[in-house]
Amino acid sequence: MKKPVSREMASLCEEIGPEDGIDPRILFASRARKSFDRKAYQLCKQAAQAIDMALCDLPESSVLRDVSVLRVEPAPDSSRLLVLFGPNLQGPIPGEEAVINALDSEKGHLRDEIAGAINRKKAPALILRFLPIGEVRQ
């Protein structure tokens, strides 16, 4: 493919930019592919379901029975997942510090549950965050 001469480009447009002379099919195709990774979000959905099931299996006395998964996102890719928890609005609202301590102690168990639910060579690392009732946005 022949690159246009700058004099020809100058006569066709008001000013020359860095994207001039690039095939638009190539330019926009790379942007579209990077913006949405279907497999990463599929993994996030599977991880959210596995964590919900693991929270249901906890004993009644656990503080984590009163929280639910708000969403799971790749952070920055599917090798690490950001899991956002929020309080269940049906049950009692747990204390933020108690939930954070319980999440830290159950982190390995939750990762093990995700590893059993997905088909990957390595289970993703987890970043667990609790959003108090005032910060919960969906």
Q: What is the pLDDT of residues 37-96, one digit of tens each?
A: 888 999 999 999 999 999 988 888 888 888 999 999 998 888 999 999 998 877 677 788
In this structure, is residue 29 part of a structural domain?
A: yes
**Residue pair 37/45 in contact by the 8 Å Cβ criterion:** no
Tally the domains of the chain. Answer: 2
Write out the two tokens for 83: 């899991």
Q: Average pLDDT of 8-33?
A: 67
Does 104 lie in the same domain as 46? yes
In this structure, is residue 1 part of a structural domain?
A: no
Does 72 lie in the same domain as 101? yes
Crossing angle for the helix pair 38-56 and 96-117, to the nearest 10 degrees? 120
- State the Cα–Cα distance between residues 84 and 70, nearest whole angstrom: 5
Q: Which residue has the higher pLDDT, 27 or 44?
A: 44
Write out the two tokens for 123: 């289970």
Instruction: Look at residue 33 in the predicted model and tell me its pLDDT.
Output: 52
Among residues 128, 136, 79, 84, the alpha carbon closest in space to that of 106 is found at 128
Does 94 lie in the same domain as 27? no
Question: How many CB atoms neighbour CB 49 within 10 A?
Answer: 15
Does 52 lie in the same domain as 25? no
In this structure, is residue 27 part of a structural domain?
A: yes
pLDDT in tens, 99-118: 999 999 999 999 999 999 99
**Average pLDDT of the chain to the nearest whole number:** 81
Whether residue 25 is predicted with pLDDT greater than 60 in this model: the reply is yes
**pTM tops 0.85, yes or no:** no
In this structure, is residue 135 part of a structural domain?
A: no
Does 75 lie in the same domain as 25? no
| Residue-number span of the structural domain to which 44 is assigned | 38-130
